[in-house]
Amino acid sequence: MGGSVFSVLSQGSKPVSFFITLVELTDASRRTLETIPKVHAMMHHGLTLTEYRAFLHDLYHIVWHFCPIMAAAAARCSDHFRDVRYDLYRRIDEEKGHETWVLEDIEAMGGDVREARRVGPSAPAQSMIAFNYYTSERVHPCSVLGMLYMLEVVSSVYGGRVSESIARSLGREVAGGGFKFLSSHAALDVEHMAQLNRLVKTIGDTDAQDAIVNATQVNFHQFGQLFREGGPLLPL
C-alpha cells in the first residue's frame, strides 16, 4: 500500500526525519477512520451498551496478542536492529497484563468475562492480529512498529474523546468504571508516542522503513474494518 519511502526521504537537500515521513505517508489512512460512519457516530454520540461490550470483546483479543506479536518481532531483530529489539523488550514489560484491564471494563459493563475469553474475536480483528504476526515474522521485524504507531495514534488522539462520548451516551462517568483501558491509554500513549518518535528516527534502512509504512497503513485499514460490515458493531 503506497510506494517506497526512499523517494520521499530524498526530496530536497535537507534530510527528512523518517518519523515525519511516516506521519506524512500514513496520515490519510488515519483520517479515513474518521469518515467511517460508525466511527464518526461513536466519537460524537457514543455507543449502545451492547455495541460497547462487543467492541471491548474484540479489543480484549487484540490487546492479548499485543505482547506476543512484539516478542515474535524482537526474536527476529538482528544486531543491526538491536535498538528496536531492546525497545520491544521494554514495551513488553510495560504492556503485559493490560488485557486484564479490558476484562475489568467488560465486567464493569455487565459483560461475561468468561465468554469474552472463550469466544474468538470478529473476522476483521482476526485479520488484524494475523497480519501483524505474519509481517513481523515473515516480512520484516520492524513491521511491528507500524502496529505500535497505529495503536498509539488511535489511543492518544481518540481514546479520551471516545471514552467520554460513550460514557455520556450510557449515562455514566468515565471514572465510574468500564473505561479503564481506553482512558488510561489515552494518557499513557502520549509518552509512548514520544518514545516511538525517538526510536523511529534512528532507522535508516529503507527496507525497514518501507515495512513500517506498509504495516501502519494496513493496521489503520484493518482497525477501520472493525467498524464496517462484518465487524463487532455491524455484524453480517
Judge whether 209 lies within some domain. yes
Cα–Cα dist 6/28, whole Å: 19
Judge whether 230 lies within some domain. no
Judge whether 145 lies within some domain. yes
Judge whether 28 lies within some domain. no
pTM: 0.90
A 10 A CB-CB count for 113 gives 15
Number of domains in the chain: 1
When pLDDT is cut at 50, 70 and 90, the band that residue 187 belongs to is low
Cell numbers standing for residue 130: 494475523
Instruction: Name the residue range of residue 76's domain.
Output: 6-10+49-225
Judge whether 179 lies within some domain. yes
At 189-215, the pLDDT tens digits run 567 788 899 999 999 999 999 999 999
Judge whether 157 lies within some domain. yes
Do residues 48 and 42 lie in contact, with contact meaning Cβ atoms separated by under 8 Å?
no
What mean pLDDT is predicted for residues 125-139? 97
Q: Which among 109-113, 154-158, 229-233 has the top mean pLDDT?
A: 109-113
Judge whether 65 lies within some domain. yes
**DSSP assignment string, 147-207:** HHHHHHHHIIIIIHHHHHHHHHHTT--GGGSS-HHHHHHHHHHHHHHHHHHHHHTT---HH
CATH classification at residue 177: 1.20.910.10
**DSSP assignment string, 106-124:** HHHTT--HHHHHHS---HH
